[in-house]
Chains A and B, each alone.
Chain A
Amino acid sequence: MGEKITVATQWLESCAGCHMSFLDIDERIVELLKYVELSSSPITDMKHPPEEGVVVGILTGGIGNEDEAHEAKLMRERCKILIAMGDCAVTGGICTMRNFFDKEDVLRRGYIETERTVDGEIPVHEELTPLTDQVSGVGDVVPVDIYLPGCPPSADAIWYVLTELLAGRMPKLEGNVLKYGSDGG
């Protein structure tokens, strides 16, 4: 293989478990880095995909605020193949629990009404991005090329998707690599 394939990752509204699962490919990461250049990710110095773009963009987490929507759009613009990785990116996941309530009720419950909160207030600051009305999956905001569900997807499923792409094939998710929730682990 000649030039390395560039990959960027970003996590949105998520618990970081999907990135943990990515690192769970263990020593296979050494093999992977022979063929792949990890340009930006939450665990590298560069936090956003480079302007010149990458081949593969990976988003984990749902979209629950305007900043996350912006990050998703940025990744879509700068990558050729976009992977929505993990149940939150695929469906909104556990973050959609707040969709059963009004946004204002959720904020009041979280910042004011919690049993151990004293003199709570809903924070307002120019650097705090507004919540969207509902949490959604990445696919509701930008077109997604590959959905990889799981909470988190297993390291083997992540490895399978990346190696299939490196081999020039679109991964076909079935069997042990298609699992929802923690059914794969």
Chain B
Amino acid sequence: MSEVRLTINGQPTVAQSGQTILEAAQAAGIDIPVLCHHPALSSWGACRMCVVEVKGMRGLQTACTCPVADGMEVQTETESAVAVRKFVLQLLFSERNHYCMFCQMSGDCELQDAAYRYGLDHFTYPRPYQKLNVDASRKYFIMDHNRCILCTRCVRACSEIAANHTLDLRARGADSMIMADLDVPFGESSCVECGTCLQVCPTGALIDARSAYGGREKDVVHTETTCMQCSVGCTLDVVTRYNRLLRVDGVWGSEPNDGLLCVDGRFTPLYEERKRLTSPMVRKDGKLVETGWDEALAAVAAKLKEGGAEGLATCATTNEALGAFAGLLAKAKGEVGLLEPVAPALGYGVTARLSDILDADFIVVAGAQPLDYQRVVGYFIHRAADKGATVAVIADSENSMSKRAAMTVSYAEADKVAKAAAAAKKIVLVYSVGIKGKVIAAFRQLGDRLFALALSPGRNEKGATALGLKPIEPNGAKTQFFLMGEQSEDQGLLAKLNGAYTVVQASYVSALVEKADVVLPAPVWYERTGHVTDYSGTVKPVAEVLPKPATVRDDAEVLAALAAML
């Protein structure tokens, strides 16, 4: 890259070659209006809002696609550029239904903002009043074609960021329409409901069913935190109003997910249907009854003092809580470990970051199902596949990654994949607990060309492992303390219970909770303060988005209080 000197509105500006006029103007603090352009997406140049005059060039240029050149003289608000923008806006407003008074985006709409900027006080062209479809066939968000300006941001987000290629345009000219797959209802399409399209839509065409009409940007509170739904640890922007969860957005430019989320991070936690535990409970005469914290903690402390306790944790909580749990069990001279299995270390290769997937030319998925359990990783692999990387799946059962893979082989044939990968420059091995010794052995020869991405089922497995916690089985101890967080127990666990005195610290009612002798209510993801460790070992903050119910106490604090009682 070399420096390019140009002037924008007479202001001398230094840009990098390869940058667009829009990027150079933004860096210089000059605002050029856009509609179809989005910084996270490729430039399209379709809406003509960003047209500018460049001395010596015929006609107007779209600033979002026109590269800068040395000596360029750009004017962004000339009479002809402004006239074209107003004309474009009038055409957009005349095409579909852009009546703001009953639109949930009014106040936060980029089309509306552009119209304000250019002083549109009425429509100059007739409106056709076409009755277009409102597609509410998906659970979490709605597509109202009447509000669509065909900017194709959603299409580009779907193909470039989620790499899912569900959305496209059909027909031509005024008949153009956003469609899913071969024009099927969105709910019946290949859409994975990651919501990236919703996040980039400039108008009210894509509607979040939960937060629509719930508050405009000026009314809401944004809190950045870390997703605790799987072990990836994506950065979330949680939007709230009046102590109510409205919406979750991705944060562009953030590690590790760069704005991309999945249905489990963005939508499902806001539709939680399990019954919340809000009060400590103690079993009396065979029945669990609500009680105060003092009585519940005294009962637990008394049992722990007897010794011979076992602590069994899921990773669905913070590093602080896991550390306090390990500390408590150490003080009680009991064994402590994890209920969830952990992906083994390979013993070779470089620890991969998610971004390594994007510039790898060969990706192996072995004993892992990222598209189902760590979906953002699956979408990153699809992005790499779109750029030409070879994807190979090693699995003995059906794997959803196979659909876009160049080859799928059984564990017995792992050597075949290793042989194919041998010619590659950069190999990423994405694996989980399902990986077999034979696979680990097969890739050893690749040495430091291999980047290893271990995905464990436990949400904060890396945090737990860093604390020295390892998977264990219930060992028949007479007191068993389960640290569950938001995780419901695995089906097999109940069968392994041996009638021990059972303490459960959890957020939701479950079969395990119903068998417990003492129940300690725990906060949920948006009520926690502390840290989790993401897939790469980076410690990330978890912020309190909303206050806990008054009768729920932080699990780390409760565990420390218990330790002090021993």
Contact = CB atoms under 8 A, between A and B. Distances in A.
Nearest to A84: B122
Interface of B: 99-103, 106-107, 112, 115-116, 119, 121-123, 127, 129-131
A182 B106 contact: yes
Contacts of B101: 87, 93-94, 151, 180-182
The size bracket of the interface on A is 20 to 34
A183 B100 contact: yes
A172 B131 CA distance: 34
A177 to B, nearest CB: 10
Q: At the interface, is chain B mostly helix, strand, loop or mixed?
A: loop
Nearest to B216: A183
B254 to A, nearest CB: 30
A134 interface: yes
A180 B119 contact: no
Contacts of B123: 90-91, 137
8 contacts: A91-B122, A91-B123, A96-B99, A173-B121, A174-B116, A181-B100, A181-B106, A183-B112
A183 B107 contact: yes
Contacts of A139: 122
Nearest to A185: B107
A148 B116 CA distance: 12
Nearest to B146: A100
Nearest to B108: A183
Contacts of A174: 116, 119
Nearest to B117: A174
Contact of A96 (B100, B107, B122, B129): B129
Given A100-B131, A151-B100, A183-B107, A178 B119 contact: yes
A11 interface: no
B98 to A, nearest CB: 9
Contacts of B102: 94, 181
Contacts of A179: 116
A178 B112 CA distance: 11
A99 B127 CA distance: 10
A172 B118 CA distance: 12
A57 interface: no
Nearest to A101: B131
Nearest to A184: B107
A90 B115 CA distance: 15
A147 interface: yes
A118 B524 CA distance: 51
B318 to A, nearest CB: 41
A149 interface: yes
Contact of B100 (A87, A101, A144): A87
A151 B99 CA distance: 10
B112 to A, nearest CB: 6
A97 B99 CA distance: 10
Contacts of B119: 172-174, 178
A144 B127 CA distance: 18
B110 to A, nearest CB: 13
Interface in A135-156: 137, 139, 144, 147-149, 151
A156 to B, nearest CB: 16
Given A90-B123, A149-B122, A181-B100, 5 more contacts: A91-B122, A94-B99, A137-B122, A144-B122, A183-B100
Contacts of B115: 180
Interface in A91-122: 91, 93-94, 96, 99-101
